[in-house]
Structures are given as C-alpha cells and as structure tokens.
Amino acid sequence: MTKLTDTVSKPYRYFGGEYNIPDMSKECRVRFCMCVADSYEVGMSNLGVRILYYLFNSIDGVVCERCYAPFDDYANYLRQQGKPLCSLETQRPLSQFDFVGFSMQYEMCYSNVFYMLELANIPVLAAERTDDMPFVVGGGPCTVNPEPMYKYFDFFFVGEGETPWKQIIEDYQQQKTQHGVTKQQFLRYVDEHYSCIYVPSLHPASYDGDKVVSPPDRLVWRNIESDMNTVFTPHTQLVPSMEIVHDRAVAELFRGCANGCRFCQAGFIYRPVRERTPEQAFQLCADLLRNTGYDELSLNSLSTGDYSGLRPLLEKLFPYAEQNHVQLNLPSMRLDSFKGQMAQGNRKSSLTFAPEAGTQRLRDVINKNITEQNIFDTLTEAFQVGYSSVKLYFMLGLPTETWQDIEGIYSLACRIKALYKRERNSAKPLRLYVSTSTFIPKPFTPFQWCALAEREDIAAKQRYLFDAFKKSGIQFSYNDYDCSLMEAVLARGGRSLADPLYLAYRDGARFDAWNDMFDFDHYRKAFAQCGTDVAQIVGAKALDEPLPWDFVDIGVTKQYLAKEYAKAAEGQTTPSCTKQCNGCGLQKHGYCRNSHGNAHID
C-alpha cells in the first residue's frame, strides 16, 4: 500500500491540526466547508475567509471547516486510494456538507473550482446536483461579475458577509430542522429575501455570441457592513504548522479607500471608508499577538497610511511592540502617506510603493493624486531614516499612454537612485527594484469601457525598459502578457465563457494563478472550439453597451464611473473622498460622511 509520506510533499497541508481551531465536536445541525481554490499557503493567508470561519463556528449548531486546492501529488494519492477530497479539520468528504463555499479572490482561481469539485465527487454543473448534495456557493470580490461561472454555482453572495451570512445560516438551520427544505425551495427563499444573493438558475440572460443582449432580470446589491467597531471580528487566528504566504498576525484597520484611482477595482467595490477607532484597533492588535504567539504584526487595509487614527495607534503600538519584541509591518502605503516616524523601532526592511505611471500627466489621467514632489519627499525621508531597499510598481498599457510615459518610468527610477546617493552617501548601495504589470480594465472602474492593450504594444515597451534598466544596474521585472489577457477575459466576460472555461480545465488548466503552472494553450484551444471572440471581450466598449455585470449594484453609479472616464480623457483629477463628497452615488443609497471621514448608514 502506498504511504502518504512517500508520495506527498508537505502532507500537513491537508490535515489541519493548527493552533486555535474552534470546537469541531459540538452539537451540529449545519455543516459549512470554507474553500479557497488555491494552495494551503495562499488560502491560509486570506483575511475574509478567516473572519467567516470564526463567525460560522460562533453560531450554535453550526460547524465550519476548511479545504484548499491540493497539488497533483496529493490529488493523485486520493485517486489511487479511491478517496474523495475532504475537509482539514475532521476529514469529512466535502459532499457531506450542507454548504461548500468558495472564496473567489481572483479570476485565475476559476479552474481550481472545477478541480476541487471533481476531486470531491460533487457534480460540477449546478443543474446536476441533487437534494442530497451541498449548495455550492461563491463569494469574494470576483462575484461583482459572476457570469463566467454562472452554471457552476448554486448561488453567489455579493459584498461583505458578516451580517447576512449569519442570518442565512440560521434561516437554513431553522428550515432544515422544522420541516426540511429542498434545494430549489431554499434557492428561491434566499433569492427573495436577500438582495445580495444571486441565483443564476432563476435569472436567464440573453447573448449574441460573446456580446450581452440583456443581462439577468435581477438587481443584486452589494452588501456593505456599516460599522467596523461593531461588526463581528475574531481576535484570534489559526497558527499554521508550516510557513504560509503571510505568516504573521494580521489586523484590519479599516475597509474601503477614499482615493478613487481610476484603474483600481478594489477602490470602488469596497467603498466607502469605514474605520475602527484607534482604541479598538490597538486592542485587536494586542489580542491577536497574545492569542497567536506571533512576533510579527501586519496592519492591513487597502491603503494603510490613509488610516486617520494611524498616529495615535502607532504611539501605543511602538512601545508595545518593543516591549514584546514584535516586528510591525505597514503594507499598502501610498507615497503621500509614508512618514519617517513609521520606521521607529522597526527593522528597516524594503519599502514598496506604486507610482503606477512614469509621468505626472499619466498619473493625473489615472487619478493617482500623487506628485513628483510627494515621491521625492517621501523617499528622501525614507533614506534619511535608514531604508536602502525600494520596490516600485508601474503599469503598462494605461489609457492615453505614450512612449514619453514609458521613458518616464526609467527616468524616475534613475533619479531615485541619484537621490539615494545624495542623501545617504553610504557605502551600502541602494537596492532598487522596478516591476511592471499590464493594465487590465476591470468592471466597476471608470476604465471598464477601455480595451486591453495589444500584445505587440506591451512587448515593445517591456523590451525598451528591459534594455534600459539592464545598463543602469536597476533590477527590472515584468509579467507575462498571456496571464494578463486571461485575467482580462475572465474579469470582463459573460455567460458565453462558462463552457470554454470548463473545456480548458478538462484539457489540463489548473493553478492558473501560478506562473509556472499557467498554460494559455489550454484556453486558446477551448476558445477556438467554442468560437469565443476574445478580441470582443477585451476590446473597447461603448458607454451605452450592455455589460455582463450591469445587474450588480455596488453603490457607485454607472453615471459616476462614466463621468470619471470623461475626466480621465481630459487629464482632470478628482480629490479624495476625505476632502469632499464627489457624488459617486453611495450617499443616495443611505451613506454620508461624518467629520472624522468615516462612513455610516443613515
């Protein structure tokens, strides 16, 4: 008999046993398996999954377990042993749960959903699942356009889940206990009672090839949790038995972003800004460190430096961290929000900033709202307090981009290198890394009507920068165009993608988010077989053209996005929401801003 340890690398990925697992032996009437369609190392780092995992396990009669996508070695072991994919905590087959929920964090995980369902012996098509099979549910940011995966999920949850999910689970528990409920009955129930739920089988859509004729006859509202100080927040987290991507305590300071960068989907689909008080944030940090034993803490948000309570929080955290030998990390810093005192008591590790564009003109187009003065003032301060490693992120293929903007990336990096030499005058060289990605026009951004840049255009710009940086001693990297093309297709496509996506999986597509495992040929063949017009999907859209995601309402109006699109063409900027209300539409849906820059529901 084949031994697991002889054939499977790091088998502890698949058997749980982590510190801080909730009680799995309590009386249980509803079982939920929380899945991430990626590896254990990636999935364990997901904050949203962590919150819902502890929330569900806090409900009487409910047990929530986890499952992550196995690598081929363990999948082959399961097949050889004739075993299905099981949960980590109790090794229960996924098919024996009431709900199997997938966190859809990025489009390139879609193929792994098929992979995990098949390993679990759960029919991939929702229409083929009988009443004795679990509900397969999708959540996470990708559900703002659920249509490419419409026929594979029983329902999608759109938005933040703490409040509605608790009620949905309790509704199901009551209906199941009192009189039993069929799959179809419960689908109709949640469709009627929860505006953030989308049941694709109940709402047809019409297509002409890959072009939308009419989207589903259902308006789905993104759920927004109104108050970060009262929303369910676990003050603990699982401590893994192996190293994971973000192997540290993580505290969420606030949700949303007020900056309005026109390329950034997260900045629009997570609006408005909702903050914890500094007192609550500090208590959360202290509890997480005490309950996990971690000696490293990350302050997590879309733009951590924009947290209005950051200074009073750090005034308490710095001495606490020093006393308890804790390393503080402040990721997601804007160039205009970094302050030298943030380095107090911390190891001077690498700083990461994202100017996004090489010239001020293009930064104004994308509404980055930082100036060259911000860039050089910030880096001057960073170099003066001891930083000697900087990573800079840019995008290629942005709307209105010219060769002058590309040359500006190289020029900016060289001037930063010269600044370091002036400020530090040190024998220790500056480690400067420049990375470029290809801009992807995402749904619910002002650039959702734009086209993805052509392959030849991006390749020429990558070659220019590679040659230029090679001579300068500055490290340069760029991403693969095929990965960007596939992400754009998945983000912007509609129901016509459902069949080719499954065909590509059958041809071998899986772990597409991993560069060394992604192979566009699987999709190229599937698109050809199904007659998919990729150029139409990633091409420019007319402002009055129906879009696959038009039936989802994130609170920000389409009219506002179009207005921002027009301002981009003129190179006009829009100030941060903390400075003025820009009329994005959230106020009309019951949101207003208070004097502290927080948002709440009236």
Burial of 312 per CB tally in 10 Å (0-12, 13-18, 19+): middle
Task: Give me the number of domains the chain comprises.
Answer: 1
* 510 in any annotated domain: no
Structural domain includes residue 437: no
Which amino acid makes up residue 561?
L
Average pLDDT over residues 305-333: 90
Q: What is the pLDDT of residue 338?
A: 60
C-alpha closest to that of 485 among 512, 460, 508: 512
Is 9 within a domain?
yes
Output the six-digit token pair for 598. 């927080």
Q: How far apart are CA 586 and CA 329, in angstroms?
A: 32
pLDDT of residue 347: 56
Q: What is the pTM of this model?
A: 0.94
Q: How far apart are CA 532 and CA 305, in angstroms?
A: 43
Give the mean pLDDT of the chain: 93
Residues forming a β-bridge with 252 = 300
Residue 299, C-beta contacts closer than 8 angstroms, at least 6 positions apart: 251, 253, 285, 307, 313, 328, 329, 330, 331
| Whether pLDDT at 593 is above 70 | no
Instruction: Work out the end-to-end distance of the chain between its first and last CA atoms, rounded to an integer number of angstroms.
Output: 64
Q: Is pLDDT at 595 greater than 70 in this prediction?
A: no
CA distance linking residue 340 with residue 336, whole number of Å:
12
Q: Where are the alpha helices (DSSP H) in 104-203?
A: 110-119, 162-178, 183-193
Instruction: Residue 12: give the domain boundaries.
Output: 4-221
Is 389 inside any structural domain? no
488 near 87, Cβ under 8 Å? no
Residue 280 has pLDDT above 60, yes or no: yes
Quick one: which of 507, 402, 527 has its CA closest to 114? 507
**In the chain, what percentage of residues exceed pLDDT 90?**
86
SS3 383: helix
Q: Band of the pLDDT at 518, cuts 50, 70, 90?
A: very high
Q: What is the pLDDT of residue 594?
A: 43
Residue 430 has what DSSP assignment?
P
Q: Residue 413: CA atoms inside 13 Å, Cβ hemisphere, count?
A: 32
- Would residue 93 count as lying in a domain? yes
- Residue 73 in any domain: the answer is yes
Provide the token pair at 560: 């506002």
Q: What is the CATH number of the domain that holds 160?
A: 3.40.50.280
Q: What pLDDT does residue 257 have?
A: 94
Cα gap 590→231, rounded to integer Å: 18
Tokens 């964090």 belong to residue: 105
pLDDT at 2 over 90: no
DSSP for 384-417? HTT--EEEEEEEES-TT--HHHHHHHHHHHHHHH
Within a domain: 426: no
Tell me what the mean pLDDT of segment 556-572 comes to: 97
> pLDDT by residue (tens digit) across 224-243?
999 999 999 999 999 998 99
**Considering the domain boundaries, does residue 440 fall inside one?**
no
SS3 138: strand
329 band by pLDDT with thresholds 50, 70 and 90: confident
What local confidence, expressed as pLDDT, does residue 4 receive? 86
**pLDDT tens-place string over residues 404-443:** 999 999 999 999 999 999 887 777 889 999 999 999 999 9
Quick: pLDDT tens for 242-277. 999 989 999 999 999 999 999 999 999 999 999 999
